[in-house]
Amino acid sequence: MATLRFTILGCGSSGGVPRLGGDWGDCDPANPKNRRRRCSLLVERLSGDAITRVLIDTSPDMRDQLLDAGIGTLDGVVYTHSHADHVHGIDDLRQIVFNMRHRLPVWADAPTQNALISRFGYAFMQPEGSPYPPILDLRSIDGPFSVDGPAGPITFTPFSVDHGSMEALGFRIADVAYLPDVVAIPESSWAHLEGLECWILDALRRKPHPTHAHLALSLDWIARAKSATAVLTNMHLDMDFATLSAELPPHIRPAHDGMVLTFDNLA
């Protein structure tokens, strides 16, 4: 069996931590685990020396995130939704494509596809008169799908959630779920959250928020799902790493940029 490896490239809210201007909120600036880039997850399948690599979301911090992770090639990109903090690093996929010398497949649901084409049409279709070819091959998410690569396929099972003013997608990969932006989970999606080994879940702040889960709500959801472990992501200025680590139960941890989660025999 293969190994699945998940690297949290970013676990910060839409403005990151600290905010521009140096606002750290309640987060201790002396702790490097409080410096948070915007949300993104690298999913890898390892088999022998081979690796299949898939990126979930192209945050505005993507270039630095991939440099820090030592990543120069990808087998695919998957999008949760079209908000700027999850999409607007897309142009930096150009260098990935230069390295691989072929177009990169990206998967998105219909609303996200429409937003991507509206904002970044040149990445998918060559503009008239432009010398630059398109770099991305857009593919639809309308059910489970697999991204193939040197170590074999990584299968993604999407499920829809409420993100306030829009719907967003979560993904189940084997017995790991990734759900970075959510305020409510419809009953129809709970079946995808049963029997989890790990749930990487939105927990924006301590107070309720109109478009994101707050800490108490996230903990209630983790208890309902009976996930063996959980990691909190998309965290705002009031979510200090050491404070959270001290108060959370042992099977729940706050994320930090660069956190690696490895699971054998799940792929």
**pLDDT, tens digit, 9 for 90 and up, residues 208-264:** 999 999 999 999 999 999 999 999 999 999 999 999 999 999 999 999 999 999 999
Mean per-residue pLDDT for 58-81? 99
Looking at the chain, the whole-number percentage of residues with pLDDT higher than 70 is 99
Mean pLDDT calculated for residue range 106-116: 99
Which amino acid is residue 160, in one-letter code? S
State the pLDDT at residue 265.
72
The DSSP annotation for 2-45 comes to -EEEEEEEE-B-TT-BSBTTTB-TTS-TTSGGG-BPBPEEEEEE
Judge contact between 139 and 112, C-beta under 8 A.
Answer: no
pLDDT at 92: 97
Answer whether 235's CB lies under 8 Å from 11's CB: yes
pLDDT exceeds cutoff 80 at 267? no
pLDDT category of residue 2 using cuts at 50, 70 and 90: confident
List, for residues 155-194, the tens digit of each pLDDT value.
999 999 999 989 999 999 999 999 999 999 999 999 999 9
- pLDDT bin (cut points 50, 70, 90) of residue 123 is very high
- CATH homologous superfamily of 3-261: Ribonuclease Z/Hydroxyacylglutathione hydrolase-like (3.60.15.10)
Measured distance CA(247)–CA(134) in Å, rounded = 48
Percent of the chain clearing pLDDT 90 (strictly above) = 96
